[in-house]
Amino acid sequence: DSGVTQTPKHLITATGQRVTLRCSPRSGDLSVYWYQQSLDQGLQFLIQYYNGEERAKGNILERFSAQQFPDLHSELNLSSLELGDSALYFCASSVASEQETQYFGPGTRLLVL
């Protein structure tokens, strides 16, 4: 157990819908990262927040957004869902904002039908 928690574990929804994924980092960690893992794309970095501020951005779609709250938990919002958004979404956390060990959560498996 890495200490990073994610809810829900599984999510099944329909195209066009909107969902929110939640992540709580390890105690003391200030950075939260979001990754998308699909069979054909591997692990793709989406976005990083550090102490409430956006720190780094990857190829995150405009339909996706994230935020980090004062208690440091983070939410990833996915809207206008498409079949291709079906994937495993991981959250990770680390103590600081730069290059160091990232601890991954168990992931949320999203299925868009």
Residues that bind another protein (CB under 8 A): 2, 31, 33, 42-45, 48, 50, 55-58, 90, 94, 97-107
97 contacts: CB under 8 Å, gap ≥ 6: 30, 31, 48, 50, 51, 55
**Given CA atoms 95, 4, 49, 42 in this order, what sign does their dihedral have?**
positive
For the bound state, the minimum distance from the C-beta of residue 100 to another protein, rounded and expressed in Å, comes to 7
User: How far apart are alpha carbons 53 and 72 in whole angstroms?
Assistant: 10
Q: Supply 40's token pair.
A: 């054909």
Of 31 and 81, nearer to another protein (C-beta) is 31
Residue 32 Cα distances to 15, 38, 72, 99, angstroms: 27, 20, 8, 13
Question: Minimum distance between the CB of residue 12 and another protein, rounded to whole angstroms?
Answer: 18
Residue placing its CB nearer to another protein in the complex, 54 or 82: 54
Q: Which is nearer to another protein, 33 or 64 (CB)?
A: 33
Residue 72 beta carbon to another protein: minimum distance, rounded to whole angstroms: 15
Shorter beta-carbon distance to another protein: residue 81 or 93? 93
